[in-house]
Each structure stands twice: as structure tokens, then as C-alpha cells.
Amino acid sequence: MTLSQVDMNKCCIDDTSLRDGVQMPGIRAPGPEERLEIARLLSKIGIERIEMFGTWYEIDRKSATLILESEIPDKTRVAIWVRANKADIDDALKLPNIKEVGISHPISDIHLKYKLDIDRETAFNRISNVIQYARDHGLRVFYHGEDCTRADWNFELKIIKMLEELKVNTYRVCDTVGVGSVHHECETVPLSRSIPDKIEYLNNNFSLTFEFHGHDDLGNAVSNTMIALNHGCKWASTTMLGMGERSGNAETEKVIMNLKYHHGVEKYHLKFLKDVCDKISGSMEINVPTNKAIVGVNAFTHQSGIHTAGIIQHPETYEPFPPESVGNKRRLLVGPYSGKKVIIHKIKELVPDIDERDSRVKNLVNYIQKHLFGSGIRKSALTEDEFKEKARKFAII
């Protein structure tokens, strides 16, 4: 499959916020009702599959039961993450309306030797036996090749051939420690680690579908995910806010916006993106960086003179898409390096009919630019209430 043959509208999102996301160090584990609400919001966005825990702890079983018995599976596939052992499959089968499991097992020698203390043959037999067991019990299966970007290429191909023979639906390419590269195969980038070449090879030589799960250890999770989709991956495994182990995963919201902005994919309901991020950050007590793309409070906040002047004249000068389209909002601040135009704009928000030539306006502009910030008395932007207080001081309101 070549780039020109890829229909990006057929790409799908497999959000794993309720699996990889809830493993994020230091967060508060959300309760069953909170997970249900998060799943509902993900479904409202149009996410095609939600992956979650369902067999480990009582909270996982309660959460999975709530979600599987809700209206969500009517619109969004729900998959339960399990390890490659029959006990996990048996536990998953106890859940109501269970149809799909994601079976995870490492295939890199590093993991096989140091984590599991087994050889490749043992791993191969374990994986194939558990997959056959799940299939015999009527489950749809997608398999996670954990750490496959550091695996032996020939062993990985042997695994994938077995998956095809067992009629597994999807093979998840897991860039577990984020070492995958957007570059093509070369002396320093082997085929197993070259995301574009790897995905293209797999698509051209196997009939099952492929999914990419990228971690952000080198900061490349989103770019690797997008290039995987560009080269024929049907599924992108992502998390809201990029939450997850260590440096996290590719952000669901970023992948969706890249699909829309660069590929014209219109099927997702973008206005719910910030809602679900706010719900997750609140229920899991995650501090969202102010400059987080798309959903951060500063994603559409402007303060410097040049930028605010452009935004006031025509928002597209410094915004690639309207904040309202993703559930966010625009903010104009007055602070260091703010220009006259934004100060007058903020005054007119308070008093729309005031003439900008009014001496009170000129005096307030001069006070803010030269005295307050120019002299270094104030080093941070004014809050809305503080700006109003300054306007009162100069008898504007």
C-alpha cells in the first residue's frame, strides 16, 4: 500500500485512557461512575473503540460492567485488556456483553529475557495458545506486540503470520519505549524501528489490520502515530491528554485534529474534546499544562502586542482553527509586551461606546505600558478583576 492509496477517513481511534491512561504514575484512580462518564464522552466524540481494564481489581470489574451494560457498546466498541494467560480470558468472559479482548504479550528479547525469563519459542506457544483459547470462546481478538520496535524482525514476522492463521482481527504495533522513528530504514534505523517502512511492509504482506500504539519517551508519539496512519495503519491507539506510563502516549485530541486539519477527516465531534479532557483532569487530578495544544487554557490565549493585534483584526492570523470548534475559548491578556491595541480592546469590552481618543483611555494605556510593566513594577498579566480595578482608578467605569 502506498501513501496515495491510503484513505484517512477509514482510520479509527482506539482510545486507551481507561487502560494505559489510568496507569499514569501519581494520578487518582477514577471510580466506576467517573469511568462511565469518561467513556460516554469518548463515545460522543465518535471514538470507534475504547480499551479498558476489566479483570484485575474489583473497581475494574465494576467499571467494565457499568460500561458494557450501558448504551455505549451500541455506538462504540469496548475492548478489555488482558494478559496472555487463560485465567485473564476466563475473567473477561465473566463480564456482561463481552465481545472483544486485547491480548498483550512482549516479543522483544529484552522483555522475554529480563521480565519474563522465557525464550522465543515459549513466548510463541504461550501467545498462540491463549489467542486460540479466546477465539474458541467467541471473542474478537486484537494482539499487542509489546516492545516490537525493539524485537527481532524475523520473530515478529513469525508472530504476525501466526496471528493471521488464527484469524486475529488486528495486530497492534507497540512502540513501548517510544524509540520508533519516522525515518526510513537505514544503517541507524532498522526496519523493526522504522514506522513508515514497517507499517508499509506489514500491509503489503499480511491481510489482517494494523494498529499503532506510540509512547512519547522521545517526544515523537503523535508524529509516529500520524506516519503510521499515513502508511496504512487502520487504528491509532491513543489517550486523552497523552496520559500514560512515564512520558505518556500520543494524545487522542492531537491525532484527531491532525486528521481533520491535514486530511479533511470530519467524522469526529470536536466540540467535546475539551469536555472530556476537563473531566479526566478533574476526576484523575491531572494538572494540564497551560500551553497544552488544543485543550490547554493557553491554547488560544494571546498577550503580546503583535499577536493580540493580529487576533483582534482577524483571528486566523494566529489561530489555525476557532477555539469554539474544540470546546475551548479565546482569551486576550494585558501583561508585559502587550500593545496599545489590546489594552484599548479590553477597555471597549467594558465600555463599548468609549472613544479611544478619550484622555482617560490614553492615561490608562500610558499607565499600564510605561509605569506598570515598563518599570518592572508588575511582572505578570493582569487578571480580569485587576484590569477592571485599573479602569475604575482612571474613571473609565
Q: pLDDT tens-digit profile of 174-197?
A: 999 999 999 988 777 778 899 999
Q: Per residue in 59-102, pLDDT tens? A: 999 999 999 999 999 999 999 999 999 999 999 999 999 999 99
User: Is 80 exceeded by the pLDDT of residue 38?
Assistant: yes
pLDDT of 1 > 60? The answer is no
The pLDDT score that the predictor gives to residue 186 is 79
- pTM for this entry: 0.95
Domain ranges in the chain? Answer: 3-283, 301-393
DSSP state, 99?
-
pLDDT band at 294 (very low <50, low <70, confident <90, very high): very high
Quick one: pLDDT at residue 191? 84
- Per residue in 226-256, pLDDT (tens digit) is 999 999 999 999 999 999 999 999 999 999 9
What pLDDT shows up at residue 189? 72
Say what the pLDDT of residue 3 is: 59
The mean per-residue pLDDT over the stretch 147-158 comes to 97
- H/E run at residue 100: strand 100-106
DSSP code for 389: H
* Beta-sheet pairing, 100-106 with 140-146: parallel
Which residues does 223 contact at the CB level (< 8 Å), separation at least 6?
A: 182
Q: What is the pLDDT of residue 227?
A: 98
Architecture of domain 3-283: Alpha-Beta Barrel (3.20)
Q: Got the DSSP string for 51-63?
A: EE--SSSHHHHHH
Q: Round the average pLDDT of the chain to a whole number and report it.
A: 97
Q: What is the pLDDT of residues 335-378, one digit of tens each?
A: 999 999 999 999 999 999 999 999 999 999 999 999 999 999 99
Give the pLDDT score at 286.
96
pLDDT of 4 strictly over 90: no
* pLDDT one-digit tens code per residue, 107-140: 999 999 999 999 999 999 999 999 999 999 999 9
184 vs 324, which has greater pLDDT? Answer: 324
Q: What angle do CA 169, 121, 54 make, to 5 degrees?
A: 45
Mean pLDDT of 257-279: 98
- Once rounded to an integer, what is the mean pLDDT over residues 316-321? 98
CA neighbor of 332 nearest in space, from 374, 389, 381: 381
What pLDDT, on the 0 to 100 scale, is given for residue 5? 75
User: What are the counts of helices (DSSP H) followed by strands (DSSP E) for the chain?
Assistant: 14, 10
